[in-house]
Amino acid sequence: MRLVFFTADRKASLAGRAKSPALAESLGVDALKAYRPEPGDLCYFDVSGLDEAGTRKAYSALRRRCGDSAWGVVDPEGAVADPATAFFAGASDYLGPAACRAGLDKARVKAVLAFAAARTSAGGTGGASVSPAGQRAGAAEPGACAESPAAFPGWKSIRPGSSYPFYFLYVAVSAQVNLRTRLGEAGYGTLRDRLRLQMQQALAEADALLWMETDSSALYLVPPCASNVAAASEACLRMLLGAPLVGYERLGLPFPVDFVFAMHSGETEFEAPGKTGTIVSDAVNFSFHLGAKRAEPGRLTVSGEAYALASPRGLSDLFVPAGTYEGRSIMNSRRFGVSGA
């Protein structure tokens, strides 16, 4: 396994304060032109000093050179306004200012490689944006809905400016204000980076796209296919069940936290992550309202529109009616370890 760091700053390092740093080979950014990764290799690209157009160009070059091999973005100054754009372009990791200071350790490298492998096997958003060799004309691409490929043709064929049906998954960590106070700005930034990576890994089978991020929450788009929605629902329930371990082991927190998940389905115009500022959508608005104002920590809250696919056979007993919100019926997952809740 080869770990490469492309940077214009000869003094830059990925080690940071990591106790068990992953040792990377530092190369100039021009060396990317000759990069030929082997299976299992991982590279990071430092976007320091690049404007938005330069960053997009770097993403395109990395996508071409790396193919299905894992790559990440290093942004020590927080210049990338929306880190979701890196994942949409095919990245498997993003190191913001806090993560750069913390350093890249061996555990994170292992997690990034596992996520990249899972996304590739699931036919996700990474890799080159060309049709697979041998795919017959008119055939649905990997990732398209088997039930209705015309409704959702797959991430590589989706058109910005067009409307599609989606399942919207709201994600947040409970007690945001207290967390920021207890962790400080740098620690809170590290938490957000780790949570982003954890969710990308957990939702790999669902082929979910990190679409919007606020300072305290994220909204993922899940393809409107039964298998994808079920996978997303199961991933949320697993995280709720294992919340103490996830908080301690994956997020590196010295105290317990809980997660807030909410799922809704509807139709919206699609734009790439980072370009969603002009979107006006009742479905998107309701998803944020449901997650921020009605969903409870320790539960997956599901709207009536999303319930059928979000509670596949074998999981329906885990949900209980929770009344209505903004005129829509909602269901809550039971609290694990709490009888009748």
- Which CATH number characterizes residue 225's domain? 3.30.70.1230
Strands (E), the chain: 3-6, 25-27, 42-46, 70-74, 93-95, 163-173, 209-213, 217-222, 259-269, 299-303, 319-325, 328-333
109/221 same-domain check: no
Q: How confident is the model over 217-244, as pLDDT tens digits?
A: 999 999 999 989 999 999 999 999 898 8
Range of the domain at 32: 3-121
Which of 197, 168, 169, 173 has the alpha carbon at shortest distance from 183?
A: 173
CA distance 81 to 79: 6
Could you state, in chain order, the average pLDDT of each consecutive group of 10 residues for the chain (341 residues)? Answer: 91 83 89 90 94 91 89 92 84 89 88 80 48 35 56 86 94 79 87 89 91 92 92 93 88 88 96 88 96 94 93 82 94 72 55
182/323 same-domain check: yes
98/215 same-domain check: no
Which positions ≥6 away from 268 have C-beta within 8 Å? Answer: 163, 164, 166, 279, 281, 283, 284
Q: How confident is the model over 136-180, as pLDDT tens digits?
A: 333 445 455 655 556 788 888 889 999 999 999 999 998 655 788
208/300 same-domain check: yes
As given in the structure block, the two tokens for residue 269 are 């115009």
Beta bridge mates, 261: 171, 300
37/174 same-domain check: no
CB 97 within 8 Å of CB 187: no
pTM tops 0.85 = no
- Which CATH number characterizes residue 82's domain? 3.40.50
305/188 same-domain check: yes
115/226 same-domain check: no
CA distance 203 to 128: 21
CB 243 within 8 Å of CB 298: yes
